[in-house]
Structures are given as C-alpha cells and as structure tokens.
Amino acid sequence: MNKEILKTISVLYVEDEDDVRGFTAKLLSSLLKKIYVAQDGQEGLQIFEEHKDDIDLVVTDINMPKLDGLSMCEAIKNIHNEIPLVITSAHNDTNFLKRAIEIGVTTYAMKPIDLYQLVESIIKAMEPIILKRKLIELNLSLESKIEQEVSKIKSILDAQDNI
C-alpha cells in the first residue's frame, strides 16, 4: 500500500520532548489529513476522548509525565478497542514489550525517531483498516448493483406475465 493513504487519516501524536514533538508533528501534518498533538499521556487521553470519532490512529512516546504512553494506550483501548497504536521508544525491556503486546500495540518505531520508519509504521498499522473499509465499500456497492439487477429481472418477469 502506498503513502497516499496517509492523506486519508487523522492521527493523535503524543510526545513530551518539545523539539521532537514540534519537528515530527510538522512533518506528519504535511502528510496526514489531520494531526492532533499532545505533550503527555493525560492530555493525549483527553484529546482522544474529545475527538475519538475523528482519530484513526495513535502514535505515542512511552516515557512521559502525568500519564505514561502505555497507560494512555490502555485507556484508549478501553474506549475504542480497534484503534491502531504505534509506540515510539528506546525500550527493549521484555516486561515492557510484554505489556505493550497485552495492551494491543500494533507496531513501534525506535527512538531516536527515524521519520521514514515512523511513516512506514503508520502505514503498516493502517493497512488492515483501510483495506477493511475498502472491502465494506465494495460490498455495499455490489449489494446495491445486485438489488438493481434483481429489480430489473423482476420487472422483466412481471412484463412476461402480463403478455
């Protein structure tokens, strides 16, 4: 899947380091439909609760003040179980990784952030959701076409009965 899908999604980006947050948010805003930015997990959770119907994906750091990234992700999963989560971290602790898997983190990008890897992680996390949306649209379109054809056949059969 190509990077064109990025223009169709809205992302919540949570990062406590000002420089990293500013630079990464600026880059992502040029690629995405919309970006919501928060400086810690508590603010991220609040923004998610306010815009949950518009946010397609969450990208978050792990070590943050007030509410860490994994705790925020867990709370977000309780609100919207199918939201994809991308974490950014320098952690490689097995307990951390186990907790991330248990919460349902979709993928990760290592710190320091490689922006190409982050974009690829976002695409990788969104691919199944975008494909599912396209499948639903295709299904609805096919159902509509089938209904139209069935209606045509019924009118033909009704016309034959009249003849």
State how far the Cα of 92 lies from the Cα of 27, in Å rounded to an integer.
26
pLDDT for 36-72, tens place per residue?
Answer: 999 999 999 999 999 999 999 999 998 888 889 899 9
The pTM for the full model equals 0.80
pLDDT for 93-150, tens place per residue?
Answer: 777 788 888 999 988 888 888 888 888 889 888 888 888 888 988 998 898 889 888 8
Is the distance from CB of 36 to CB of 11 less than 8 angstroms? Answer: yes
Amino acid at 113: I
* CA atoms in the 13 A half-sphere facing the CB of 144: 6
Quote the pLDDT of residue 1: 47
